[in-house]
Structures are given as structure tokens and as C-alpha cells.
Amino acid sequence: MSLRGEVCLVTGAGGFLGKRLVRLLLEEEKTAEIRLLDKRVQPDLLQTLEGCRGDTKLSVFEGDIRDGDFVRDACRGASVVFHIAAIIDVNESVEYSEIYGVNVKGTQVLLEACLQENIASFIYTSTIEVMGPNPRGEPLVNGSEDTVYDCSLKFSYSKTKKEAEQRTLLAHGEALRNGGRLATCALRPMYIFGEGCSFLLRHMGDGIRNRDVLLRMSLPEARVNPVYVGNVAAAHLQAARGLKDPQKRNAMGGKFYFIADDTPPVSYSDFNHVVLSPLGFGIQEKLPLPLGLLYALCFVLEMLCLMLRPLLRVTPPLNRQLVTMLNTPFTFSYQRAKRDLGYEPRYSWEEARKNTTEWLASQLPKERERIRAK
């Protein structure tokens, strides 16, 4: 099925994945209009998209996703919503009320607007972190949508994304004002990498400060399977096409799907090295402390910050749950998405690695200059 003639709304359109999805929609689907919703959209984004826009109208909606009137205006006349916008926080640096407001309440506001404005399809961008790993660091290898795992989520980010995902899936089949029914599904990508990835840029900066040696925060055996941003965007497009197809709509509606590709399983730290080593970066052989001592140090830091909380909000640079996430084997299969959505990775691992490394190479001089200037 095609999205030809549809009006698509992309929340978080100015972000890493959102920009990639908008470009893919322009390149492959003759949509009538794409609405870019975000707190702020950089002016040059529309300029970069002009070459592939064709006859598609591009509209910008800047505002707060918690604002019901604003969201409803953005939804009016649309037929497909890609909900990517979220606050991503793995350091617990954002107040819980803020992250809950955007990630959960914002999603609920958007779902209610879809019902009021007769939007037929809603694709929610979830995350692997709604699955874990749990605080005990229990490994999970080649998991599927049927895998039973004790999540015991601790991060505010993972908890709020989980609740927002549940609300999305429960909304499947809700009645629209015109008598139709809303169809929803959720995609759970692995750690997303590629051109524009701020996390990779941050790791590169840390490596520059450490004389071009990347910091090791993951044991080599703690393998995960990152996914390329171009493949995640393609999965979103396939999901939208599927929800438009009456047969697939029933099969995939109200369900979640893990989104991975053929990136070889590797630890987070070793993945950083894989894409940065062609630029001359090495990597530390060992963790800065044995894993047990690292947990103990994080506990002390967390307690100190908790004691200061009534007077001053201080966020530790590292916490126990982040150390657990970085050091737990956690991999998943995309076979269910392949079967139900027709998803296939568009980019091979070789292409994804090459594209990512070339982008990092283009950023390296600016990053070195920025760090020297400090």
C-alpha cells in the first residue's frame, strides 16, 4: 500500500530519527502534505528538504505537545501520525514531572486529538528500554515479542516510554468521530546510530579529551545489536503502509515490534570503536574500575546527590542503572516485523558503518576545535 495523497504528521520531526523519516517520506511517497511538529524546527531543515520535496507541502508546527489546542490544530485534516517526539534521559537529569508530562501526557493528548480529528493510523516510536535490562542485569539474547522478561524498570525514561506505549496499544480500535476506528502499533528500535547521532558525537568528544582513546564503559561480552537510523525510518514507513492495508491492519494493530537490522552484536563501547577506529581512535582495554567497584561508586554518588536534593539538584555523571544497561547482553530479533510489516533492512551493515564513519569524519575537525576553544 502507498501513502500517496495522505497528510502525514511527524512529531519530533526536527530530531535525529524524525528528520530521516521526513526525508524518506518525501523520497518514496507522493504524500499531499507532511507536517513537522516539534518544540522547535531549525529553519535550515526545510531548505535541506527542498530538493526532494516535489509537490508535497511541508508545514511546520512549533509548540508544546502537551497543549491540546495546538496538537489538535496540527492533527486537523491529517490521516497518519508518526509519534517520535520524546524526552530521552538516561542520566536522570530531567525532573520526573517534566519527562512524564512530555512522554506520557503528550502521547495521551495526541491520541485524543487523533480520535477527535478522525486520524486513522498512529505509529508510536517506542524503545528497547521499555523491555530493560532490569536492575539485576539479567541477560537476554535474541529475544522476540513473545519473550517473557522481568522488566522491573528503574529509569524514568524507560518507565514513561513503557506507559506511553501501553496507552498507544490500548487505543487501537477506539472509535473516531466519523465512525471509523483508530489503528495503532508501536516500534521498539534498538540503540539507533547513524548520521546525526548525538551520542556518538559525545563519545567522540570524550575520546578527543582522552588523547584519541575512547573510554570503555562496557565489558566486551555485554553484546547488544544497534540499528541504523535509515533502517528504523524504513520500518516506520512499512508500519504506516501496513496499517493502511485492511488485512495487515487487523494483524498488526495494537501490537509492538522490535526493530533491528544486521549490525553484528557488540558491546556499546566496542561499537563506538568500530565506527571511530578508522578516524584514528583507540579504546581502553578495561573498565575504569572493576564492575563491582563501579556499582559501589555509583551508589555512593547517587546517595550524595539524594542528600543534596532538598537544597540543590545534582545529577551524577554515572548511575547504577546506566552501568547495568551498558554491561548486560541484550539482543533482539526483527523477524516478527519482517513477517507482519514486510520490514527488511534497507541498508547493509557495511553501508551503515561507512555512512556513519564518514559523517563522524566530517564532524571531527569542528569537534576538535570546539574542545580546544574551551
Reported as a single tens digit per residue, the pLDDT across 344-359 is 999 999 999 999 999 9
The pLDDT score that the predictor gives to residue 328 is 96
The pLDDT score that the predictor gives to residue 309 is 78
Cα 191 to Cα 198: distance, rounded to the nearest angstrom: 12
Q: Which residues are catalytic?
A: 157
Cα 175 to Cα 181: distance, rounded to the nearest angstrom: 5
Using pLDDT thresholds of 50, 70 and 90, give the confidence band for residue 118.
very high
- What percent of the chain has pLDDT above 90? 81
Measure the CA angle with vertex 21, ends 81 and 194; round to 5°.
Answer: 140
The pLDDT score that the predictor gives to residue 15 is 94
- Look-up of cell digits 564513519: 357
In the predicted structure, residue 4 carries a pLDDT above the cut 90:
no
Average the pLDDT over 190-215 and give the result.
96
In the predicted structure, residue 1 carries a pLDDT above the cut 80:
no
Ramachandran sector of residue 228 (left: φ over 0; alpha: ψ -120 to 50; beta: rest) = beta
* b/e per residue 3-35 (b: at least 16 CB within 10 A): beebbbbbbbbbbbbbbbbbbbbbeebebbbbb
In the predicted structure, residue 374 carries a pLDDT above the cut 80:
no
Cα 327 to Cα 123: distance, rounded to the nearest angstrom: 31
Give the amino acid at 20. R
What is the C-alpha R_g of the chain?
21
Per the CB < 8 A criterion, the answer to whether 130 and 151 are in contact is: yes
Per the CB < 8 A criterion, the answer to whether 53 and 27 are in contact is: no
Mean pLDDT of the chain: 94
pLDDT digits (tens, 9 = 90+) for 63-99: 999 999 999 999 999 999 999 999 998 888 888 999 9
List the single range of 21-35, 148-162, 176-190, 305-319 with lowest mean pLDDT.
305-319
Using pLDDT thresholds of 50, 70 and 90, give the confidence band for residue 291.
very high
Cα 65 to Cα 76: distance, rounded to the nearest angstrom: 15
Burial bucket for residue 290 (CB in 10 Å: 0-12, 13-18, 19+): exposed
Average the pLDDT over 248-255 and give the result.
91
Cell of 142: 535474541
Average the pLDDT over 91-110 and give the result.
93
| DSSP per-residue codes, 111-141 | HHHHHHTT--EEEEE--GGGT---TT---EE
The pLDDT score that the predictor gives to residue 52 is 81
Q: Count CA atoms closer than 13 A to 316's CA, side-chain side.
A: 20
Structural domains of the chain ordered from first start: 7-196+226-262+331-349 (3.40.50.720)
Helix, strand, or coil (residue 259):
strand
The pLDDT score that the predictor gives to residue 181 is 94
Helix, strand, or coil (residue 54):
coil
pLDDT digits (tens, 9 = 90+) for 216-227: 999 999 999 999
- Look-up of cell digits 507536517: 35
Cα 175 to Cα 196: distance, rounded to the nearest angstrom: 38
Give the amino acid at 13. A
| DSSP per-residue codes, 155-182 | SHHHHHHHHHHHHHHHTTTPBPTTS-B-
Cell of 289: 574500575
Q: How far is CA 207 from CA 192, 195, 213, 284, in A?
A: 20, 18, 5, 10
Sign of the Cα pseudo-torsion (116, 120, 124, 130, in order): positive
The pLDDT score that the predictor gives to residue 308 is 83
List the single range of 47-61, 80-94, 186-200 with lowest mean pLDDT.
47-61
End-to-end C-alpha distance for the chain, whole angstroms: 52
- Look-up of cell digits 548525538: 198
Kindly report the backbone phi and psi dihedral angles of residue 284, in degrees, each rounded to the nearest multiple of 5, phi listed first.
-60, 145
Sign of the Cα pseudo-torsion (277, 282, 286, 289, in order): negative
- What percent of the chain has pLDDT above 70? 100
Cα 277 to Cα 133: distance, rounded to the nearest angstrom: 28
Cα 184 to Cα 238: distance, rounded to the nearest angstrom: 13
